[in-house]
């Protein structure tokens, strides 16, 4: 049978689906697309400040079993080719990483000296532990920079490990503008206790330490006794002493150059919560370098901290080599 318009033999019918399938079976696999490195920190805000930038960050932390928020100030001179030394500021009771960053005025001198400043939170958040939110001086906002050993607090209340290990490890890995070999530490009240004890418990880890109105002898003040009794147990007094700056100073090997400011109008100083005289006495007996300045009329607030923030940045700068 002839086919009109067709001059050759009939060809077998091949469907469009067959052609597509056949063609695709001979296509070489595409080269895998390079994926950007996984970022452990989420930047929720970037704020210009004194020529540099203040980053508001969040990340998941294993030490505390929750998301942790913090602030990081990068001075204008910080680059990956010329990373900036770091000052860690530990805040006090009820505070977050925002208080020091927004009211402490550390950025002014940090910008001039080319120092980055890290402002961590003061405790885990939202763990839903019984008693976590019942008082201002224990639980949320009151981690005391220790690793709790009692139930239920040992499940997340591990701020010592977070500040000394996990947080700096993550920051220095992700932010190459930071020089992890040059780190100093400071803090206020509970954070002053944290700064002093972390420095004294980790010789060589921090280039310097200073503090604003620190809790220097927590085993002998109501704040410390409540916190240590809860986090370590009432019977575990040896553990209490391991996190007491006055007790640690007595045994510290090596030189110290510690700056402390305390306001004479500070009600917590008057109530015996801070006990700087005990720290001074221990320093004198041990022959350690400690300078406590009693600032006339100043209280416990961020008005006090912001007034003397420049001095504490300068103190760190001297030891950080800038």
Torsion of CA 236, 242, 244, 246, to 10 degrees: 120
Residue 84 has a pLDDT of 99
Q: In what order do the strands lie in the sheet with 290-295?
A: 42-49, 52-61, 66-74, 116-119, 84-90, 178-187, 209-212, 258-263, 290-295
65 given a catalytic annotation: no
> Could you confirm whether domain 40-320 is CATH 3.40.50.300?
no
Is residue 319 among the annotated active site residues?
Answer: no
Task: Give the active site residue among 188, 193, 243, 300.
Answer: 300
| 135 phi/psi in degrees, rounded to 5 | -150, 160
pLDDT at residue 38, as a whole number:
52
State the catalytic residue, choosing from 189, 210, 243, 312.
189
Q: What is the mean pLDDT of each run of 10 residues along the chain (322 residues)?
A: 42 37 41 54 98 98 98 98 99 98 98 99 97 97 98 98 98 98 99 99 98 99 98 96 98 96 99 99 97 99 99 99 96
- Catalytic residue from among 208, 210, 266, 315: 266
- Cα 20 to chain centroid distance, Å, stands at 57
Rounded Cα–Cα distance for residues 283 and 258 (Å): 10
Q: Is 189 a catalytic residue?
A: yes
Residue pair 90/186 in contact (Cβ under 8 Å)? The answer is yes
Residue 73 has what pLDDT? 99
Q: Which residue spans within the chain are E strands per DSSP?
A: 42-49, 52-61, 66-74, 84-90, 116-119, 178-187, 209-212, 258-263, 290-295
Say whether 9 sits in a helix, a strand or coil: coil
Question: In the chain, what are the domain boundaries?
Answer: 40-320
């Amino acid at each position: 049978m002839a086919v009109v318009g067709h001059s050759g033999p009939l060809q077998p019918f091949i469907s469009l689906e067959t052609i597509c399938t056949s063609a695709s079976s001979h296509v070489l696999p595409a080269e895998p697309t390079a994926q950007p490195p996984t970022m452990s920190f989420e930047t929720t805000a970037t704020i210009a400040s004194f020529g540099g930038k203040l980053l508001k960050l969040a990340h998941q932390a294993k030490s505390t079993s929750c998301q942790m928020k913090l602030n990081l100030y990068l001075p204008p001179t910080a680059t990956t080719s010329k990373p900036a030394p770091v000052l860690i500021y530990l805040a006090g009771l009820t505070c977050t990483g925002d208080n020091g960053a927004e009211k402490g005025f550390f950025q002014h001198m940090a910008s001039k000296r080319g120092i980055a400043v890290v402002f961590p939170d003061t405790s885990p958040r939202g763990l839903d532990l019984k008693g976590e939110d019942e008082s201002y001086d224990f639980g949320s906002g009151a981690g005391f920079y220790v690793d709790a050993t009692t139930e239920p607090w040992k499940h997340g209340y591990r701020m010592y490990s977070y500040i000394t290990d996990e947080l700096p490890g993550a920051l220095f890995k992700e932010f190459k503008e930071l020089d992890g070999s040059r780190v100093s530490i400071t803090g206020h009240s509970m954070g002053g206790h944290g700064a002093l004890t972390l420095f004294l418990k980790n010789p060589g880890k921090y280039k310097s330490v200073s503090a604003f109105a620190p809790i220097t002898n927590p085993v002998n003040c109501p704040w410390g006794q409540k916190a240590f009794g809860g986090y370590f147990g009432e019977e575990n007094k040896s553990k209490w002493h391991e996190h007491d700056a006055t007790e640690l100073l007595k045994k510290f090997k090596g030189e110290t150059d510690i700056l402390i400011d305390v306001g004479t109008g500070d009600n917590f100083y008057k109530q015996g919560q801070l006990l700087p005289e005990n720290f001074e006495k221990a320093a004198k007996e041990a022959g350690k370098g400690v300078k406590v300045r009693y600032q006339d009329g100043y209280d416990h607030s961020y008005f006090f901290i912001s007034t003397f923030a420049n001095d504490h940045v300068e103190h760190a700068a001297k030891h950080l080599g800038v």
